[in-house]
Amino acid sequence: MTIPRQWSAGDLQLIPMDKNSAPLMKALFETNKSVAACDPSFGEHDIAVYQGVIEEMNQKDHFLRTILDADNKPVGFFHMNFHQARERVCWISMMSVNAEYQGQGLGARVYRAIEDQVKESGEADRIWLQVFVGNEAAVMFWVKQGFLTIVKSGQEDENGQKYNYLILEKSLNKSQDAV
């Protein structure tokens, strides 16, 4: 896999998370708990959940990264993997930016850095992600990044509550976009 262990996106650093990063991941997730009613990802979880996520997402072909700002302050994280959803697909399973930093273009810059790395790797022709329909800000963010194709829609049941979701796709192949 040709994705670097860490890389820069302008003044942002994208560095690996390790097993000691669970408290940081929990703290970053909790800055977005205001959307927990429409996106179960942001519900309150025990630290062991984050430890499990980190262990699971640091496998081969998986990339779990902390986003550091120009002052080396953690402002978010993301996870992506290759060939899990389908062959030649990069799946962004998580991307979370601290609520204090949202609306400043940080998420778009990080996404562009991810897309550039995916293109450079040659591992994928498409990027997929799941977004919960009730999280309108997230849906609009991904549409602005060019995720205009709905691959699938469905519903998840979390603690007896149902959440509608979309799996969105962005083609990295310009000729496919033109069709």
| 173 pLDDT tier (thresholds 50, 70, 90) | confident
Kindly tell me if the per-residue pLDDT of 120 is higher than 90.
yes
- The dihedrals phi and psi of 108, each to the nearest 5 degrees, come to -65, -40
Kindly tell me if the per-residue pLDDT of 4 is higher than 90.
no
- Decide: residue 118, CB within 10 A, 0-12 exposed, 13-18 middle, 19+ buried: buried
CATH superfamily entry for domain 7-178: Gcn5-related N-acetyltransferase (GNAT) (3.40.630.30)
Kindly tell me if the per-residue pLDDT of 85 is higher than 90.
no
Q: Which two tokens stand for residue 24?
A: 């940081």
Nearest to 114 by CA among 76, 158, 166: 76
pLDDT tens by residue, 15-74: 999 889 999 999 998 999 999 899 888 878 899 999 988 988 877 778 999 999 999 999
pLDDT at 175: 57
Residue extents of the structural domains in the chain: 7-178
Give the Cα separation of 91 and 75 in Å (integer).
21
